[in-house]
Structure 1
């Protein structure tokens, strides 16, 4: 098993990409702590459940401490928690902007900051931040989301430089359209959902919706020893969207 003995914290783990990551890592031998603000779904998912809002500093500090205690330490972190906002810039409020930044950018920073002592104690570690293809190419009516995810990519690259001395590797993943509740809202709320989905897929070389396991497998690669000489990258897993 590729992650035998690893102790990993996964945020946003109650559903979507986070849940797929947690389950994939467990199958590969990792002990996983699953952090999410949805306690009910976490209980259904199984594993070590830690309820917290990643945008709340005190909750994050407490949650990471509990996760490390339950697992006996931490060897890795995968930040999957995130929210979207589809809003015309003129209609967007400062409060909406701030909430997206708090969850999508500040949240991963808080988790990384809180987890760093445990990762250092382990002697080496990995951090994977799930950003978005929107960090690499802009999308209409998503100024806050695109800005936050672009910030997360640069945060990951800079953190990779800062933490290399501790043998902690930091990478980002930039998913394209993935079959999750958050992504489905991109087209299901349209007047003609199928037409909207077709319009979205026209941007892609691979003309299908991605699966959460596509991202989980990328996170597995970036967490495992196969990528031990890889740090500071933003890996696009997007069906060719970013170069098409």
Structure 2
């Protein structure tokens, strides 16, 4: 990306944002960008050590938690809200990549993917709703996948189902929480993070023929969190290098 695209403009000045999956990958890069843009950021992740390092990097606050545990998630959000004196926005970047044919994936593995990617997202948003409803211009951005928009690759049944569920959940929440809270989804293609290991060569069907830099996805999330997208809710933004044209 060019330098102009990374010049902070304080678009999130005064906003109080929770970012999940913030110890690494898209979540960590988003937390960094949001802090540069003036937000106070609470970082959530189950990797306590990496999370603390990520929080210290940006002057944020670390709240280690497994988002599949609804009670623990509610507790972490309450602590974060108390620390930030409220919550104006949420970015749900926590998730796992999972590969396996439907004929081979066990029910236990299926439940694990759904629990982390879909139910975990629900737990986080549900826990934040009381504060979001009190905030002006509140936002939620969930991270799904191009596989949730166009599940056309073998071996991604559980993953695609979980991410398709995130898209549907987000649209339903957008309807339910309007007009107080805007809810949108970013659907990345392959991103240059550890999650892409083992899949990095699979960009032949991408119009741009490359992986995304995490900051490119973070900027899409920034758009949907900022006032620049004030008339956008219930949208699923494909930030996938042309993997799926809409």
Structure 2: runs of 5 or more not aligned? 1-9
- Aligned twin of 2:163: 149
Q: Deviations over 1:165-191 (max 9, x none)?
A: 3x200000000010010122334xxxx
> SS at the partner of 2:18?
strand
Deviations 1:97-128 (A, max 9, x none): 00000000001111000000011122441000
Q: Specify which of 33, 43, 56 is matched with residue 52 of structure 2.
A: 43
1:54 deviation in Å?
0.8
Residue 223 (structure 1) aligned to one of 207, 222, 225: 225
Query: Are 2:15 and 1:2 equivalent residues in the alignment?
Result: no
Distance 1:34 1:179 in 2: 21
TM-score calculated relative to the size of structure 1? 0.93
Match 1:238 to one of 234, 237, 240:
240
Q: How does 1:67-106 map to 2 (within 5 A)?
A: 67-106=80-119
Q: Which moved more, 1:82-91 or 1:10-19?
A: 82-91
Partner Cα separation in structure 2 for residue 59 and residue 181 of structure 1: 26
Aligned to 1:190: none
Residue of structure 1 in register with 2:7 after alignment: none
- Find the aligned partners of 2:137 and 2:184 in 1 and give their Cα distance: 14
Deviation at 1:231, TM superposition (A): 0.3
* 1:148, distance to aligned residue in structure 2 (A): 0.5
2:78 aligned residue = 65
Q: Deviations over 1:2-22 (max 9, x none)?
A: 000000000000000000100
Q: CA deviation at 1:234?
A: 0.2
Which residue in the other structure is 1:169 paired with? 182
Query: Cα deviation per residue 1:195-237 (whole Å; 9 max; x = unaligned)?
Result: xx0xx11110001110100110001000000000000000000
Q: Secondary structure at the match of 1:149?
A: helix
Which residue among 11, 34, 47 is the counterpart of 2:43? Answer: 34
> Which structure dedicates a bigger proportion of its chain to helix?
1
